Structure 1
Amino acid sequence: MIHEDCELSGNTAENSSAKSMEQLIIRPLRLAEYNSVSQAMRLFTDTRSTETADEIWLIEHKPVYTLGQAAKLEHVLNPGAIPIEKTDRGGQVTYHGPGQLVVYPLLNLRRLNLNVRALVTLLEETIIEFLAGYAIHAQARKNAPGVYVNGAKIASIGLRIRRGFCYHGIAFNIAMDLKPFLGINPCGFSQLAVTQLSDLGGPSNLGMVADLFSQQLKAKLILQRKKADFPIENSTSTY
């Protein structure tokens, strides 16, 4: 089920802080403008404490191109009527739109015993394992993080780490119009092919995919809790 443009309370982090540190809250899929969600993520991160429960937000964005902190305008080729928004995540330019599952893991990395590289690997592995459930063989790349199927990108990862807390996350192509990707060099790569789950024989129901994928990610994060501790630094990560 998609909830249209319902706003997150500015007290989300405050309310969550009373919950158990072991809890991980999954917010249901909703359709939303990029800016409102971006502002809510920053507010959550700025106001959360070390005891605030982690959350996973499931979003379907209205059409938008977003520019990460490393983005160059030369990679925006022909945006047409699609708005362009600057953001504080790492990375270059990408497209979000209906039919794409955007997953924002708002995590306390110290509590999860994760550094940024380990987090990216965990997110990539979760996507790869999810795709394998539909007999889709996918890979990650060291020089261009994200997930690829036969050289075409199916999922992008863009993160921001501040005070040991992570926000931004995954853009996973499910059943969308891929034409807007032709208006940019996705992730700064000229003529990078993109693909999506429904074109590869997977499901096209975004709500179903959101439910299944978020539960798989939650299980992966719970398993991660007992791994070795890593130092966390404030950083912008380019993925």
Structure 2
Amino acid sequence: MSGLIKTINRVGALRPVRLHRLGIVDYETVWNWQKTVQKSRFRTNLCDELILVQHPPVYTLGRGGDESNILFDQNDKQHKLFKIERGGEVTHHAPGQLVAYPILNLNYYVKDLHAYLRLLEQSIIDSLAEFDIHGERIEGKTGVYVNGDKIASIGIHVARWITMHGIAVNVENDLSLFDCIIPCGLKGIKMCSVQSFNPRVTLAEYTECYLEKFKSHFKVDFFEGSSISPLDSEQAEAPSWVKEYYEHL
């Protein structure tokens, strides 16, 4: 699958991606950051971004999602719910989950949304394999599964070939918080986590492995961005190798 990625750069260098490790940040704040960064890419060829974050407990419902899969009272303020523009049904985010939001210009990768989704899935599958966990796809369903249970959810929004939203991999999060929804609208499918199969794996360990697989499949290299907000990095000076990349485009 990674062979689909085309290198636009004539010197064959890996495409730079600015990596943001944000820690725990509320969902609405990061959602607004994503929208701002995505829109800025409509106007100019700025650097691609990868946002890593954990969210306080929150539920999100994709465009066209079926609200009957939400089992709690939406007027109950104990449960935060956001209706957003990504594809897919209702899902849950909480600390201990790897949430990654790539903001990529697909003109420099692959202009095929199905292929993009498969690359996201494969990065997860390959990173799980490093911990002896056999992740797999289920035909007709987006995401990654282990023994029929769902370990990772994917939902994206793409405008003018610029991506936002992304993936959520259950690592060490509390799975009981999925009980008040039908996750991804999949009746009868349970949620699982990395620690369901390998209790010693930490979120930090899994994250580093995932980043290596992402780099391999998308043919990119990372440089560090802000740990506070991706917007803080817009005016920051990029490393010399990043400048050289753009000089050769």
Q: What range is the shorter-chain TM-score in?
A: 0.7 to 0.9
1:63-100 CA distances to partner (integer Å, 9 max, x unpaired)?
00101002122111136622111111111100000111
The answer to which structure has the higher helix fraction is 2
In the alignment, residue 150 of structure 1 is paired with which amino acid? N
TM-score by length of 1: 0.80
In the alignment, residue 158 of structure 2 is paired with which amino acid? I
Q: Which residue number corresponds to residue 59 of structure 1?
A: 53
1:88-120 CA distances to partner (integer Å, 9 max, x unpaired)?
111110000011110111110011134110011
Report 1 or 2 for greater relative contact order, CA contacts < 8 Å, sequence distance ≥ 6.
2
Q: Which residue number corresponds to residue 133 of structure 1?
A: 130
The answer to whether the aligner puts 1:113 opposite 2:110 as a matched pair is yes
Give the C-alpha shift of residue 196 in structure 1.
Answer: 0.2
Give the C-alpha shift of residue 165 in structure 1.
Answer: 0.5
Q: Which residue number corresponds to residue 70 of structure 1?
A: 64
Give the C-alpha shift of residue 208 in structure 1.
Answer: 2.7
In the alignment, residue 69 of structure 2 is paired with which amino acid? H
The answer to whether the aligner puts 1:39 opposite 2:39 as a matched pair is no
Task: Give aligned-pair identity as a percent.
Answer: 34
How far apart, CA to CA, are the structure 2 residues paired with 1:207 and 1:128?
Answer: 17
Give the C-alpha shift of residue 214 in structure 1.
Answer: 1.7
Q: Which residue number corresponds to residue 215 of structure 1?
A: 212
How far apart, CA to CA, are the structure 1 residues paired with 2:199 and 2:211?
Answer: 16
How far apart, CA to CA, are the structure 2 residues paired with 1:113 and 1:121?
Answer: 11
Which of 98, 103, 108 does residue 101 from structure 1 map onto?
98
In the alignment, residue 139 of structure 1 is paired with which amino acid? E
In the alignment, residue 135 of structure 1 is paired with which amino acid? D
Structure 2 gaps, min length 5: 1-12, 221-249
Q: Secondary structure at the match of 1:210?
A: helix
Q: Which residue number corresponds to residue 26 of structure 1?
A: 19
Give the C-alpha shift of residue 61 in structure 1.
Answer: 0.6
1:25-55 CA distances to partner (integer Å, 9 max, x unpaired)?
1111411111110110010000124521111
Q: Which residue number corresponds to residue 159 of structure 2?
A: 162
Structure 1 gaps, min length 5: 1-19, 224-239
Paired residues of 2:111 and 2:161 also in contact (CA < 8 A): no
How far apart, CA to CA, are the structure 1 residues paired with 2:105 and 2:165?
Answer: 13
When the two chains are superposed, the root-mean-square deviation of aligned CA atoms in Å is 1.8
Deviates more, 1:174-183 or 1:197-206: 197-206
1:139-186 CA distances to partner (integer Å, 9 max, x unpaired)?
112211100000000000000010110110001000011011110010
In the alignment, residue 62 of structure 1 is paired with which amino acid? P
How far apart, CA to CA, are the structure 2 residues paired with 1:68 and 1:122?
Answer: 21
Give the C-alpha shift of residue 203 in structure 1.
Answer: 4.3
The answer to whether the aligner puts 1:197 opposite 2:194 as a matched pair is yes
Paired residues of 2:14 and 2:219 also in contact (CA < 8 A): no
Q: Which residue number corresponds to residue 234 of structure 2?
A: none
Paired residues of 1:26 and 1:56 also in contact (CA < 8 A): yes
Paired residues of 1:24 and 1:56 also in contact (CA < 8 A): yes
The count of corresponding residues between Structure 1 and Structure 2 is 204
How far apart, CA to CA, are the structure 2 residues paired with 1:197 and 1:208?
Answer: 11
How far apart, CA to CA, are the structure 2 residues paired with 1:213 and 1:172?
Answer: 10
TM-score by length of 2: 0.77
Give the C-alpha shift of residue 213 in structure 1.
Answer: 1.1
